[in-house]
Amino acid sequence: MTQPSERNSYAAELPSAAAPADTAAFARPSARRLLTLAGIGMILAGMIFGDIFAVFVLHQNAARVGTSLAAAAQAASAGDAAAVGAHFKDTGTFLENRGTKVDTHVHLIAFGYLALMLALAQPWVGLAEVVRRRLAWLLVCGAVLLPVGVFLIHYVGLAYSPLEAIGWASIFADLGGLMVLAATVGYLAGIAQHFRARQPLLPDQLLRDRSAPARWLLTGGLLLILAGFVHGAYYAGVDLYRHEAADYTILAQMSSAAAAQNQAQINQSLAEYGQLQGDKAVKIAAHAHIIEFGLLAMLLAFFQPYVQLCEAWKRRWAAVLLCGSLLLPVCVLMEMKFGLVAGGIADLGGLLVILALLAMWIGILRYTGSIDAMPSGAPSGVPSGVRR
């Protein structure tokens, strides 16, 4: 718990925090607070999960996929059709393992973004606070249920499932998706209601903030997104169809070589296939990450009034987040050329983003603590930690 003396020094250090955000809109049970804290929490969890996945699962899994594909090609060369089927079954299992973990990572982060956006959009939602709060809980529960369900698909499989192709984990994941969809539809109805009723928009501190970290994050984030779009367009124009054609051509060559028992050609095709998959993976990962980080930076720009840290540290964390957001995708792109060195620097970029996000989340938690510590008779809009 913060001591009075600490509060004094904190207030003296934090002139910028003396401009409080809309505390009523961020009161203890409000939909905005729930969506903000849960949203950043989900993004953090998704990023940490992604880092763990990248370090401990991704490359090992890719190696297993390559090994089982090589074994299938060798079995085809030896004329053993049954073994080919068995090896491809293994490949399918490894790919499912990888795919479900990527989906867990992606969905957790995407739902975090959605929660943050809906937190920002609360002034436009023409529904009673109690309804908005219930929708927020529905969204958060669905947003956690879906990634957890997807993660479990590989482990639960079809055990005890009433359906032929879909297991219980998939069913719960789909239920989670439906909950998120229902909550989003509810908020859309609320936004439509707001515009239909022509209600005046209440002043919102979050949307008025013009501080340096907010401006950096907003412009920097949009530039990152634009860079990601340009890179995506370049990839679609130059690499996408070439990659798709090469995927088929290499597999066809591998299959023909196996039929002709041409070991040298099989090995060459396997090597080319590995290179192709690596090239595809790094380009898509760079495109996706730079846009996601750009969107994250833009979203965080709006929450700066809630980050109860001194202005200098808010600037530092904004700069760290933008640096990490650029470093990770650029180094991921360089992985094919510079290997593990670039991969290591990319991981460092991811770590910088996680640290900056964590710092901002802690800043927001401090803000909520200040509001909650405020005596009931205190003037509205001034957290206790800030008033002193």
Partner 1 sequence: MSARKILMLGGVALAILGMSYGLWYAVFAEHQALDGIGHSLASGFQAAAERNTAAAVSSLLQYREAKYAYDRQVDVHGHWIGLAMLLIVLAIAFDHVGLSEKFKRGLAWALLAGATLFPLGVLLQTWSHGALPRAVAILGSAMVMAALAAVVLGLLRKQAA
Residue 136, interface with partner 1 (CB under 8 A)?
Answer: no
Reported for 154-162, long-range contacts at CB under 8 A and 24+ positions apart, including other chains, are 154/93, 154/96, 154/97, 154/100, 154/101
Nearer to partner 1, 2 or 93 (CB): 93
Sign of dihedral through CA atoms 198, 204, 210, 214? negative
- What is the number of other CB atoms lying within 10 angstroms of the CB of residue 139? 27
Contact between 387 and 11 under an 8 Å Cβ cutoff? The reply is yes
Strands (E), the chain: none
Interface with partner 1 includes 185 (CB under 8 A)?
yes
- Where b means 16+ CB within 10 Å and e means fewer, 327-352 reads bbbbbbbbbeeeeeebbebbbebbbb
Determine which residue in the list 166, 246, 320, 382 makes contact with partner 1, applying CB under 8 A. Answer: 166
Q: Which of 12, 128, 181, 348 binds partner 1 (CB under 8 A)?
A: 181
Q: How far is CA 185 from the centre of its chain?
A: 22
Integer-rounded Cα Rg, in Å, for the chain is 25
Task: Determine, following the binding rule CB under 8 A, whether residue 85 of this chain makes contact with partner 1.
Answer: yes
**Structure token digits, residue 170:** 């998939």
Binding to partner 1, residues 309-348 (CB under 8 A):
none
Task: Using the rule CB under 8 A, give the single segment among 9-17, 212-220, 306-314, 353-361 that binds partner 1.
Answer: 212-220
Q: How far is the CB of 362 from partner 1 (least distance, A)?
A: 23
Q: Which of 13, 51, 129, 174 binds partner 1 (CB under 8 A)?
A: 174
Burial class (CB in 10 A: 0-12, 13-18, 19+), 109: buried
List the structure tokens of 166.
Answer: 């879909």
Does 141 interact with partner 1 (rule: CB under 8 A)? no
Nearer to partner 1, 85 or 344 (CB): 85
Give the residue, chosen from 19, 55, 60, 195, that forms a contact with partner 1 under the rule CB under 8 A.
195
247 lines the binding site for partner 1 (CB under 8 A):
yes
296 and 113 in contact (C-beta within 8 Å)? Answer: yes
Stretch that binds partner 1, among 60-68, 107-115, 326-334, 342-350 (CB under 8 A): 107-115
- The site for partner 1, by CB under 8 A, has a size of 69
Query: To the nearest 10°, the Cα dihedral for 231, 51, 103, 296?
Result: -50
CB under 8 A: which stretch of 8-16, 216-224, 311-319, 363-371 binds partner 1?
216-224
The verdict on 244 binding partner 1 (CB under 8 A) reads: yes
Q: Counting Cβ atoms within 10 Å, is residue 298 exposed (0-12), middle (13-18) or buried (19+)? A: buried
The stretch near partner 1 (CB under 8 A) out of 11-19, 56-64, 203-211, 377-385 is: 203-211
CA angle 239, 243, 244 (to 5 degrees): 125
Member of 17, 38, 65, 73 binding partner 1 (CB under 8 A): 73
Binding positions for partner 1, rule: CB under 8 A: 72-73, 75-81, 84-85, 88-89, 91-92, 106, 110, 113-114, 117, 120-121, 124, 165-166, 170, 173-174, 177-178, 180-181, 184-185, 187-188, 191-192, 195, 207-208, 210, 215, 218-219, 222-223, 225-226, 229-230, 232-233, 236, 244, 247-248, 251-252, 255-256, 258-259, 291, 295, 298-299, 301-302
